[in-house]
Amino acid sequence: MPVFYLDAVSRYRADSYTSITQITNYISGSPLSKQLSAQEFTQRWDALAESHSKRLAAIASAAEPKADGTFGTGYLCRTVRKLVPEDSIFAIEAVTNTLFVADNIQATIPGSWINCGGGGLGWSGGGALGIKLASEFENGAGKGKFVVQIVGDGTFLFSVPGSVYWISQRYKIPVLTIVLNNKGKLSPCHVEVLADKKQAGMPRGGQCCSSTPTVWDRKPQTKSSISVSLPRLTMLVLPRLRLEGICSPRK
Ligand SMILES: Cc1ncc(C[n+]2csc(CCOP(=O)(O)OP(=O)(O)O)c2C)c(N)n1
């Protein structure tokens, strides 16, 4: 998270868990702790606790399956959370579903939620195997924590699943993979719609894509490896770059 614009007295780069622990210890042994137990702060804390429990209730109700029995990522993740061991480690590469996964997995054990803040997708297949190996190393052979990878259907392919599961099988490194199939790569669709809105002079924001993304509706016309492996974003945007030959609507 960029914080360079905050007008701070000093800035430090530190491990968040270590620094929060140190700050908490410091405050509880200093006169500040008396100040913090003043009514103003207890009231603020009560208000926070109340809004937090309301938020948890809203998340739970939004995750309820629909009347026709269908359900979304929220319900899936709540169910997974109940079924897997409490101290499981989650390797998350869920892209547009990440918020629903985070809201419903509610990982609280330090180190049990491993995500990637950057744009380089495709790490979670090999990453999940590495996490499992590291956990076995830390806790002893056969005592490693249960590892759950939750990944978007597009991103799943970026991680070269053929290699991942060959290695998993060959070296006996079990992990659970859950692929979130929203029938395509939704996030590039957001980019596409935003680009369209910008071109049309419309304001940003609002609902930029339907919640049910369209299935891939274009296919490459050439055998170029680029057109085969590039995602929908490229397929939809490339024609604007006058490379119409690469993609055209499916007949
Ligand atoms: C290595 C890499 N290539 C391309 C991208 C651009 N990109 C961001 S999200 C995305 C699609 C992800 O699709 P999916 O996993 O199905 O998630 P969804 O967007 O449908 O939630 C792409 C191609 C990226 N971030 N990293």
CA distance 67 to 27: 50
Domain count, the chain: 3
12 assigned to some structural domain: no
- Can you tell me which residue has the tokens 């429990």? 53
Ligand 1: which of 180, 187, 208 to mutate, judged by most atoms within 8 Å of the beta carbon?
187
The verdict on 83 and 54 lying in the same domain is: no
Cβ-in-10-Å burial (0-12, 13-18, 19+) of 156 comes to buried
More confident residue, 114 or 2: 114
The verdict on 151 and 200 lying in the same domain is: no
The verdict on 42 and 132 lying in the same domain is: no
Lowest-confidence segment of 139-143, 148-152, 179-183 by average pLDDT: 179-183
The verdict on 107 and 124 lying in the same domain is: yes
Lowest-confidence segment of 6-20, 137-151, 228-242 by average pLDDT: 228-242
pLDDT at 240 over 70: no
**Ligand 1 atom nearest residue 93's Cα:** 15
CA of 154 to the centre of ligand 1 (A): 6
- Helix, coil or strand: residue 247: strand
Mean pLDDT of 148-177: 96
Looking at residue 217, its pLDDT comes to 33
CATH number assigned to the domain comprising residue 164: 3.40.50.970
66 close to 88: Cβ distance less than 8 angstroms: no
The verdict on 80 and 170 lying in the same domain is: yes
The verdict on 55 and 87 lying in the same domain is: no
**Ligand 1 atom nearest residue 189's Cα:** 19
Instruction: Please identify, among 180, 205, 225, the residue that sits at the C-terminal boundary of a domain.
Output: 180
**Ligand 1 atom nearest residue 232's Cα:** 23
Domain housing 31: 22-62
CA of 123 to the centre of ligand 1 (A): 12
pLDDT at 166 over 90: yes
The verdict on 217 and 174 lying in the same domain is: no
The verdict on 168 and 231 lying in the same domain is: no
* Tokens coding 114: 């491993």
Per residue in 30-59, pLDDT (tens digit) is 998 888 889 999 999 999 999 999 999 999
145 assigned to some structural domain: yes
More confident residue, 210 or 198: 198
Q: What is the pTM of this model?
A: 0.73
CA distance 151 to 157: 10
The verdict on 165 and 240 lying in the same domain is: no
**Ligand 1 atom nearest residue 120's Cα:** 26
The verdict on 196 and 164 lying in the same domain is: no
The verdict on 201 and 129 lying in the same domain is: no
Instruction: Please identify, among 180, 203, 224, the residue that sits at the C-terminal boundary of a domain.
Output: 180
Mean pLDDT of 163-186: 92
Instruction: Please identify, among 41, 62, 83, the residue that sits at the C-terminal boundary of a domain.
Output: 62
Q: Which of 136, 61, 60 is nearest to 105 (CA)?
A: 60
Query: Which residues have any ligand 1 atom within 6 Å of their CB?
Result: 95-97, 119-122, 152-155, 158, 182, 185-188, 231, 233
CA of 216 to the centre of ligand 1 (A): 14
11 assigned to some structural domain: no
**Ligand 1 atom nearest residue 153's Cα:** 16
42 assigned to some structural domain: yes
The percentage of the chain sitting over the pLDDT mark of 70, rounded to a whole number, equals: 74
Please state, in angstroms and as integers, the Cα–Cα distance from residue 242 to each residue in 1, 46, 63, 238, following that order. Answer: 37, 59, 43, 7
Which residues, 6+ apart, have CB-to-CB distance to 170 below 8 Å?
A: none
5 assigned to some structural domain: no
Q: Name the strand (E) or helix (H) holding 90.
A: strand 89-93
Which residues, 6+ apart, have CB-to-CB distance to 173 below 8 Å?
A: 129, 132, 133, 167
The verdict on 115 and 201 lying in the same domain is: no
Per residue in 210-228, pLDDT (tens digit) is 344 333 333 333 332 222 2
Backbone angles phi, psi at 234, to 5 degrees: -70, -40
75 close to 102: Cβ distance less than 8 angstroms: no
- Residue 69 gets the label, from left (phi > 0), alpha (psi -120 to 50) or beta, of left
